[in-house]
Amino acid sequence: MLPKLVMTDIDGVFTDGGMYYDQTGNEWKKFNTSDSLGVLFCKAFNIEVAIITGENTQIVERRAAKLQIPHLIQGSHDKLTDAEKLCKKLGITLSDVAYIGDDLIDLPLLEKVHFSGAPANAASYIKKKVNYVTSRSGGEGAFREFIEEVLRRENLLEKAIQAVLNSKLSAKMTEVNCSIETD
């Protein structure tokens, strides 16, 4: 079943989970541009994308805006409850959701969605509870690999690739990656 919504954690999935600080107190995160294609694959099938994170930063807000991810839940201390609220707003249930997360705070949601995943470097007890463990670590394209697996299981990966190559989505990808590289 193709999900109607894909949700993702940020730290440990889109990033390597590291938090970098300079001497003036600025926080830095490194994102892998490969993950932007996972977002475009979702858009090719009109799958909603949401970020849900315990953090509350402008960095994540900017990343969501660049990737045109419409649903951003920051500062979540109960991801399951917050995901249920978003599902209600969208008129769907958790059985319509795929979610990738990497740590203890993600576990209750990972156990309730239709299809769950974790990056290769997630805690072992998390990896034991999910449907799919990526071969890539967080920050190394784990989100993209997760989306590719979701589509592969529905025999839609090749169709997604062609949809991106043959559409305006491809232009959006170039636009997104260029803007990321010039920041």
Residue 173 confidence (pLDDT): 54
Say how far apart CA 122 and CA 137 lie, in whole Å: 8
CB 118 within 8 A of CB 101: yes
The two tokens of residue 29 are 């995160």
Whether pTM exceeds 0.85: yes
pLDDT tens string, the chain, 183 residues long: the values are: 999 999 999 999 999 998 888 898 888 888 999 999 999 999 999 999 999 999 999 999 999 999 999 999 999 999 999 999 999 999 999 999 999 999 999 999 999 999 999 999 999 999 999 999 999 999 999 999 999 999 999 999 999 999 888 876 555 555 554 333 323
Q: Which residues of 34-64 are buried (b: 16+ CB within 10 A; e: fewer)?
A: bbbbbbbbbbbbebbbbbbbbeebeebeebb
pLDDT above 90 covers a percentage of the chain that reads 80
